[in-house]
Structure 1
Amino acid sequence: MVLLLAAMPALGNFSGGLLAEWINVSDKTLNLALHFAAGIILAVVGLELMPTALEVEQPWIPIAAFMGGGFTFLLLEKAVHFIKDRFGGEGKATGSAWGIYLGVAIDLFSDGIMIGTGSTVSVSLGLLLALGQVPADIPEGFATIATFKSKGVPKKMRYLLAAGFTIPILLGATIGFWTMRNSGDLIKFSLLAFTAGILLSVAIEEILTEAHGKPDPVYASVLLTAGFSLFALLTVYLEG
């Protein structure tokens, strides 16, 4: 049941990737999609992960885990740059796309953690969390696959990458249900904070940096706040 719930946002993400395949994506459209996706990720961090993580008696531990997530992003970024240097021109051309892909995969992993953990409380809560993630994951999938498309990555590989998004969310749901249900709140919430630190770094350093490397419509910031607002609405009306 938990895996079926987790498959819902995974399908939403995959649908966003298919949408990017079916329509021609201009640089301006991709810019707007990236801003929208970044707004959603920032909302996930600011409205869902960190407020939950700080509900423990020793909030400094999740805060330290949050900083640890930022440091981990730095290590991951260095690994991406190493791979780009090893693979030459093609790796350099797609490096930012892989950074975005990694960020969305981590976001899906955190979605799975939340769905799996919520399902240990009740199936209805797990369903609510899964439904809340679906509309947020569609623009993320669209922006990611559209970025790979703009870099000239072959279509077959793009389909495989889109399908690969099912792995982190199913893995996260499995960990959330089987492992986190037997863990104390401090460990559980510290993991959420650690994930939040990585996500915040990815949204600022990868997604928005990639967006600003393209023609920047004057209303791009509106899409950033629209993404944040969408997740805020889902948080208030679906989880409230």
Structure 2
Amino acid sequence: MEILSEILGYAFLPVITIIAGGAVGLYKNPGGVIRSSILHFAAGVVFSVVAVELLPDIVKNHLPIEVGIGFSMGIVLMLFVKYFTERNQKTENALNENKDRLPFGLLSALIIDLIIDGLLLGIGFAAGKKEGILLSVALGLETFSLGLAVVIACRKSSFSKSENFLILAGLGLTFFIGALLGITLLSHLSQELLELLLSFGLAALLFLVTEELLTEAHEEKESPIQTACFFLGFLLFLILGMMN
């Protein structure tokens, strides 16, 4: 029980950061350059966790069938989420004339994304405590940028700050529920099932880096400093991953 409560404490970190990211957007209004730098750094961190922690664990077990199935499932699911997001966003852009209207396309996609992220955290802790902790920090950086994105999107609507915080808290709770399910349901799996789920997580995280974080980061005109943020994030977690 003590170990479970410690793990859930780490799972609460991304909940705090999504609210913190939203608070920054509400009170500070950071420019596109800062947001792009954060996204680059977060992408480097997630990619480092994948390369340093998850991938070696997957390769050393030599279970190619499970890896192929899990990886394929991860890609198919993330492609579905991307299609669902883009379709809803187009519909919403065509209809969104009401300033009191919530950005449902964005929020519904984020709910799915955060549930998957929570499950991924459970997969990380199933692989090992160090992997789970590093993934918790990496996902915390991702959810910080998501909180910022939600507040920017909600600026088009006439919501109060308290209503924005309620939306952010709901999204944070969604992540925590996903993490709780992942941590409790994935802790006693066979090696074959764990390998399948690790491969699923590998595909989902790679998709997150290439199709979400870096795609959004490149919407802003890029400078060498922003590019360097990606490699700084990668190097920092490469060094952390080498420590016992």
TM-score (norm 1): 0.80
**Do structure 1's residue 26 and structure 2's residue 27 form an aligned pair?**
no
In structure 2, the partner of 1:135 is 137
In structure 1, the partner of 2:10 is 9
Matched length = 226
CA distance in 2, matches of 1:139, 1:14: 11
In structure 2, the partner of 1:36 is 41
SS in 2 for 1:216: coil
| Percentage of pairs with the same residue | 23
In structure 2, the partner of 1:122 is none
1:128-150, CA deviations, whole angstroms, 9 ceiling, x for partnerless residues? 45544443343222111011122
> Shift of the alpha carbon at 1:55?
2.2
CA distance in 1, matches of 2:87, 2:174: 23
TM-aligned CA distance change 1:174 to 1:236, over 3 Å: same
CA distance in 2, matches of 1:37, 1:96: 20
Report the aligned-residue RMSD. 2.8
1:87-108, CA deviations, whole angstroms, 9 ceiling, x for partnerless residues? 34559x7867865665554333
TM-aligned CA distance change 1:147 to 1:215, over 3 Å: farther
CA distance in 1, matches of 2:76, 2:241: 28
In structure 1, the partner of 2:146 is 144
The letter of the residue matching 1:217 is: S
Q: Is the CA contact (8 Å cut-off) linking 2:18 and 2:144 kept in structure 1?
A: yes
| Structure 2 segments unaligned to the other structure (5+ residues) | none
The letter of the residue matching 2:181 is: L
CA distance in 2, matches of 1:41, 1:209: 14
SS in 2 for 1:214: coil
| Residue 75 of structure 2, aligned match among 64, 70, 75 | 70
Q: Is the CA contact (8 Å cut-off) linking 2:19 and 2:168 kept in structure 1?
A: no
CA distance in 2, matches of 1:97, 1:224: 26
SS in 1 for 2:224: coil
CA distance in 2, matches of 1:140, 1:132: 13
| Structure 1 segments unaligned to the other structure (5+ residues) | 119-124
**Do structure 1's residue 198 and structure 2's residue 198 form an aligned pair?**
no
The letter of the residue matching 2:119 is: F
